[in-house]
Structure formats: C-alpha cells, structure tokens
Amino acid sequence: MARGKLGTRHGAKTMTIQIRQENLIDGATGPWEVIIGLEVHAQVTSKSKLFSGASTEFGGEPNSHVSLVDAAMPGMLPVINEECVRQAIRTGLGLKAEINLYSVFDRKNYFYPDLPQGYQISQYKYPIVGAGVVTVDMKDGYSVEVGIERVHLEQDAGKSLHDQHAEFSFVDLNRSGVALMEIVSRPDLRSSEEAKAYVTKLRTILRYLGTCDGNMEQGSLRADVNVSVRKLGAPLGTRCEIKNVNSIRFIGQAIDVEARRQIAILEEGGSIDQETRLFDPKSGQTRSMRSKEEAHDYRYFPDPDLLPLELTQGYVDAIAKNLPELPDQKKARFIRDFALSVYDAGVLVADKENADYFETVAKGRDPKLAANWVTGDLFGVLNRLGKGIDESPVRADHLGELIDLISGGVISGRIAKDVFEIMVETGEAPGRIVDERGLKQVTDTGAIEKAVDEVIAANPKQVEQVRLKPQTLGWFVGQVMKATGGKANPAALNAILKERLGLGE
C-alpha cells in the first residue's frame, strides 16, 4: 500500500528568506520582522456536496440544499464526490505540489449549532496534497516563493444568523457539507503587502484552474492568518491566529494591526499568548476569541464511515495532462510572443477573462498597441463604470477593429479616442461609427491644403513668428486640426504646413 509520509516537514525546502528593509516595522526599541503564514479555505467548485447529493448553489431558501446526510440524521453515510477529489488534485498540480496517492479522512470533533454532526470530516495526518510552491511577484519588482505545506479536503459548516431575534440564533445548513480545500502556506511571508499579493495570486491560480470561483463576498475564499513578530535574527515569536478574514484588504489591515499590537506588548516587557483572535473591520482591531481555546482539543481520529482515498499515478497523470495554461505560463508566453513588458503581462494575466480579452484584441495586431488600449483606455473605462471585463460595453473584436482602423490610416490616433468613447456609450462597431459620423481621416491633400491656406491667410502675425521660431508650428497644426474636425492626416498636414510656410525639413 502506497502511503504518504507522515509529518514530513519538507526540511530540505526550508530556505533563508532575505530580509527587506522596507518590510520591517520600526518599534521604539528598533526594527521588527513580521512572520506570516496563511490557511486559506477555498470552496471547491462542484455541483453537489463533498459527501452528499445536495446542491452547493449559493443563496437558496433556508435548509433547501440539505440532504439527510448534511443534517447528520442517524444512520446516514457519507459517499465522496469524485469531482471534489479531482478538483483537489488539479489544485495541487496547479500549486506544483506532490499529490499523495493515499490520503485519509478524519473526524475533527467540536460542538457548535451549525455543525450537526458534532464533527467536521477533514484530513489530518494524511492530506491529499503535500508540499508545493506559489511564486508571488511584488510591485517593487521582487518575487517571493511561498511554500505550500499541504492542501486537504474538508466539509464546510452551516451558517448561524444572530441578528434575526433577540434571544435566538437561526441556523441554515445549506453550506453544511460543501467541499472546501484548506490550503496551508509555510510562514514565508514578511509583510501585509506580501500576504495580500499571495492571496491574490492564489485566487488567480484557483480561478484559472476552475477549482474555486474565488468569490470573497459569498465566502468562497476565506483566510486564517497566523502572525508573529521577532527582532532580526531572533528565533520565531509566539503566533496568534486571526480567524476567518474574508477580504484581501482586511487581511492586510488585520496583519498590520496585529503586528503592531504584538510589538507594543513585547516592547513594554510583556509576552504574547498563543491564541485565536478575530479581526473587526469596524474598529480596525483584533480581539481575543477566548471561547475557541478549549475547543482546540479536536480529538481527531480516522472516520470509520470512510475508507482511505487511494489514487493511481495514472489517474493523476491524466488530470495533469489536461491542466489549463496557468498564470505564470501565460505571463511568460505574453512576454515571449507579444514582447510585452513584465508589468503589462502581469496586469493582463491577473484575471483570466482579461487575458482572454487581450488575446482576442492582440491576435494578428501590434501587441503593444493592443496592451495599451486594453490596460489603459479599456481598464480606465471599466474602473469608471465599476464593471468587470465580462460586462465590458466594448467587445474585444470591436476594439481589435478600432486598432485596425488606426494602423490602416483610416482614422488618426486622436479620433480613435473619440470613437472609443462612442463605442463605450453605444456598444457599436467602430467601422460603423466612423462611417456614419464621417470621421475618416482626410488624406486628400487638396482639402488639407485648402484648410492650411485659410489658416495662414487669417493669421499673418503667427506666420511672422513661426518663421523666427519654427517650434511654434504646433500652433498651426492645432488650428488646421480644429478646422478639419481632427480628421486631417497628421503626416500630410505637417508636410504641407512646412512647405507653405517655407520651413525646410
């Protein structure tokens, strides 16, 4: 029987992490280093639950997506959903992790009204996914290799509502039994910025893989954040765990405030209690969850209702073969094939939909121009409208057509900006807009000459001046452009102006 190694610490992977001055927090007694590790709970994308055939759909009527298994009625037995197993394997492969061909489901025992079984089915000693790595590119241009310790499958709990009644809590089990992946990082992060970038990157990878929708508002992605501080070169400090932080911004805030809290205590000669804390976004503080302390005695044991999960290498290899292109690969390809800057490529691949849109626009066209339009003009508009790329008023093929119109000399770059604005408002194709509104560039030299002559005749003073100071030519360009509604071909206009004003090349 193939068996995962128990408790391997993957010591060989441990590397010294370079200390960056900008990550240190200045205390009264000198600089402090912050050590962060995250446990991210990601809801597995599947139609039905991990151990029952009830729907995973978000927002159903109370207790309508609940089977007798999820409600833990006596005699009910769990049967595992093969798709959830496949998704966990895909995730493991996407995190460049080892897939354990032998894993075991355990019972994690605790009592809470939204946990009808009295235990959560989870994996403890033998998780399905072992050590992996996520490369996080930081804004400042450096990268962090964040070690993944493990990924295991487990059940989500139900939901308690406390604001419906003064004396009672209301419990809805629709989430009960939905499959989660707990993705445990090594303590390789050294600032809130790095932690935020890590979760962002992890979310991107999961969305590329299609194994978690990454929807943080609906709770599909939540993090427990472990934070400790130490003086440079000192051994690791005592850590606190901040539970259930449900937005990337809050993860950053929680880390900063928790690190400062710990530093303040230590600098006053106190010590840190290892405990579970809660981040309250309203007060911007973390506070102790004392009730959780005793519950830490979970008395794990193998679930007698479930046999060990055994996989074959062939099954894993077949899944690996069908893995989609991942963000790092796509980024490398964009840099290589489209000669994009590292920054542009990074921005574009952060969201798969953005990357797909860009590829449609860039196909067969100048990629730099396409990148500028997508990351500059289009993202600007989407930001302004508060819309995602899937709701973009401008279709990718339309934006491509607009670039063709510029490259083909049909419209000038300046007019293109106006056409783009009209596209945003109307959703129409640029070719049609240009035709209907007569925005085609005037390359007919006769028409441009006429406009130039009129401007020269009307402005004798400026003509005097431009002969002494040729750099004021721009003023004439502007006047003629105004007269032609911006449609004059810039190159033709420049040539004619210089000729008429007697300015040599």
Which residues here bind another protein, judged by CB under 8 A?
1, 3, 46-48, 52-55, 61-69, 71, 79-85, 109, 111-113, 160-162, 164-173, 278, 289, 291, 294, 297, 299, 302, 306-310
Nearer to another protein, 117 or 479 (CB): 117
- Report whether 45 contacts 10 (CB < 8 A): no
Q: How many CA atoms lie within 13 A of 505 on its CB side?
A: 2
User: In whole angstroms, what is the distance from residue 180 CA to residue 128 CA?
Assistant: 13
- CB 85 to another protein: min, Å: 7
Tokens standing for residue 98: 């080892």
- CB 270 to another protein: min, Å: 24
Q: Crossing angle, helix 413-426 and helix 396-407, to 10 degrees? A: 160
- CB 157 to another protein: min, Å: 12
The number of angstroms, rounded, from the C-alpha of 372 to the middle of its chain's C-alpha atoms is: 21
Nearer to another protein, 54 or 95 (CB): 54
Nearer to another protein, 161 or 458 (CB): 161
- CB 104 to another protein: min, Å: 8
- CB 116 to another protein: min, Å: 9
User: In whole angstroms, what is the distance from residue 209 CA to residue 131 CA?
Assistant: 18
Nearer to another protein, 80 or 272 (CB): 80
Task: List Cβ<8 Å contacts ≥24 apart for 345-354.
Answer: 346/137, 347/375, 348/374, 348/375, 349/204, 350/200, 350/204, 351/204, 351/207, 351/389, 352/204, 352/207, 352/208, 352/327, 353/388, 353/389, 353/390, 354/389
- CB 103 to another protein: min, Å: 10
Identity of residue 43? Q
- CB 129 to another protein: min, Å: 17
Nearer to another protein, 43 or 204 (CB): 43
- CB 115 to another protein: min, Å: 11
Q: Which residues of 337-356 are buried (b: 16+ CB within 10 A; e: fewer)?
A: ebebeeebbbbbbbbbebbe
Nearer to another protein, 240 or 433 (CB): 240
Tokens standing for residue 426: 């109307």
- Report whether 136 contacts 121 (CB < 8 A): no
Phi and psi (nearest 5°) for 393? -70, -20
Nearer to another protein, 47 or 414 (CB): 47
User: In whole angstroms, what is the distance from residue 88 CA to residue 128 CA?
Assistant: 8
Nearer to another protein, 44 or 389 (CB): 44
Query: Residue 376, Cβ neighbours under 10 Å: how many?
Result: 11
- Report whether 213 contacts 179 (CB < 8 A): no
Nearer to another protein, 54 or 415 (CB): 54
Nearer to another protein, 30 or 53 (CB): 53
User: In whole angstroms, what is the distance from residue 234 CA to residue 31 CA?
Assistant: 12
The DSSP symbol for 374 reads I
Query: Residue 373, Cβ neighbours under 10 Å: how many?
Result: 23
Q: Which residues of 276-298 are buried (b: 16+ CB within 10 A; e: fewer)?
A: bbebeeeeeebeebeeeeeeeee
User: In whole angstroms, what is the distance from residue 389 CA to residue 396 CA?
Assistant: 10
- CB 170 to another protein: min, Å: 4
Residue with tokens 């400090």: 237
- CB 297 to another protein: min, Å: 6
Nearer to another protein, 69 or 455 (CB): 69
- CB 255 to another protein: min, Å: 21
| Strands 179-185, 30-43: pairing kind | antiparallel
- CB 151 to another protein: min, Å: 18
Nearer to another protein, 53 or 470 (CB): 53
